[in-house]
Amino acid sequence: MPIIKAEELESWKGKEVGVSEWFEASQDRINKFADCTEDHQFIHVDEEKAKNTPFGGTIAHGLLTLSLMPAMSYGVTLGLEGAVMGINYGYDKVRFLNPVRAGSKVRARHVLVDAVEKQPGRWLMTYDVTVEIDGVETPALIARSLAMIVVG
């Protein structure tokens, strides 16, 4: 992750700042997510029944893919010199465009949209994020990600 001075943020706007490593949407991960969220819809957890759907097998929950976004942003988004922490501030305009089949891998591309100092030492960073599926043209999801970076 590039560590930059706040004065440099303007020059990064509109640019891709990083691409994450690949994360596997294994059936085990999907099952554990189903247990955590109590969302055991067959399309996610019943491999035999899911074979008879248009997907031909189980798919990850859209919210599982979204929940991987913090891990997919760690180390690939901009860091500010003197930062003491980053806080997930939320997501805007989340769209699930393509299901992630069990066993597929996903990664995220981050483009800095904006960076605003909301209070002294508190920077709201806005990224457009595209979550890609390995070997598939249409992304799994797109979202606008918001992070508060605290400089101390």
pLDDT in tens, 84-103: 999 999 999 999 999 999 99
pLDDT in tens, 25-49: 999 999 999 999 999 999 999 999 9
Diameter of the chain measured on Cα atoms: 56
pLDDT at 1: 74
Rounded-to-integer distance, Cα 123 and Cα 151, Å:
8
Tell me the Cα Rg of the chain: 17
DSSP assignment of 67-124:
HTHHHHHTTTS-EETTEEEEEEEEEEEEEE-S--BTT-EEEEEEEEEEEEEEETTEEE
Rounded-to-integer distance, Cα 2 and Cα 150, Å:
16
* Count of domains forming the chain: 1
Domain of residue 98, CATH code: 3.10.129.10
Model confidence, pTM: 0.94
- Decide if 21 is inside a domain: yes
Rounded-to-integer distance, Cα 129 and Cα 92, Å:
11
- Decide if 77 is inside a domain: yes
Closest CA to 45 of 30, 56, 62: 30
Average pLDDT over the chain reads: 97
- Decide if 144 is inside a domain: yes
| Parent domain of 86 | 3-25+61-151
- Decide if 51 is inside a domain: no
Mean pLDDT of 4-29: 97
Judged against a pLDDT cut of 80, whether residue 71 lies above it is answered with yes
- Decide if 46 is inside a domain: no
